[in-house]
Amino acid sequence: MTPLAADQWGDPEYAAFGALLGLPADKVPRAGSGEPYDPLNFDIIGMLARHPGMARLFLQFNGFLLQRGELPGRLRELIILRVALVHRSAFEWGQHVRLGAAVGITDDDVTALIEGNNGFDGHDRLVLDAIDEIIADGKAQWPTWQRLVETLGEHAAMEVIFLVGTYTLTAMAFGTWGLQAKPGSAALPPDSITTEEHGQ
């Protein structure tokens, strides 16, 4: 599926992108303007905006998780990277290796994440073990949930679950639509590690 072309953008599509940017439709840069937030710079937005009503609500929700949630940025990006790795999302992997660097995820962290969970401890290890459980079982076991709440607080613990679900959803969508990783972004590692191995 291809992103919308410049002449396919109208008020509903601009409103959808505006939900992510926190702007009304008429303040969103016009498609083809060449501005930094020109919608044509973002293939992901151009694909989602093909269903502008759905995209507006989804991007508002996703924007909350990324920009206004209570989960620390480092943990958020570790979750997204693990989901991208397990669900083989080259686009999300490339995007969030870059975004993770801004919140303290190092090249060594990325290498450790690929190899499993043994390179992590503290909050990092708790969250990675929890999301492996969620991915494998479709839920966190109650003791795991209690540890998340006790360690992170209830709101941040809830965001852990919703991040796993949201980025599983985008991995399915982008994989189906053929959204490619941005040129120059980190390459998705070979699929040589199973979910079960992550916790070992």
Query: CB count, 10 Å around CB of 16?
Result: 27
In this model, does residue 21 exceed pLDDT 80? yes
Percent of the chain with pLDDT over 70: 96
Q: How far is residue 43's CA from residue 46's CA, in Å, rounded to a whole number?
A: 5
Q: What is the mean pLDDT of the chain?
A: 93
Quote the pTM value: 0.90
> Which alpha helices (DSSP H) does 42-181 contain, by range?
43-48, 52-63, 73-86, 90-101, 107-115, 122-137, 142-152, 154-177
Q: Please choose, from the candidates 155, 159, 129, the residue with its C-alpha nearest in 3D space to the C-alpha of residue 144.
A: 129
Q: How far is residue 129's CA from residue 200's CA, in Å, rounded to a whole number?
A: 9
In this model, does residue 195 exceed pLDDT 80? no
pLDDT digits (tens, 9 = 90+) for 117-176: 999 999 999 999 999 999 999 999 999 999 999 999 999 999 999 999 999 999 999 999
Q: In this structure, what token pair is assigned to residue 174?
A: 């982008």
What is the residue-wise DSSP string for 117-151? STT--HHHHHHHHHHHHHHHHSS--HHHHHHHHHH
Q: Domain extents for the chain? A: 6-66, 70-198
Q: In this structure, what token pair is assigned to residue 113?
A: 């994440």
What are the angstrom distances between the C-alpha of 101 and each of 68, 94, 98, 135, 146? 19, 11, 5, 24, 29
Q: Which CATH superfamily is domain 70-198 in?
A: AhpD-like (1.20.1290.10)
Residue 101, amino acid: A
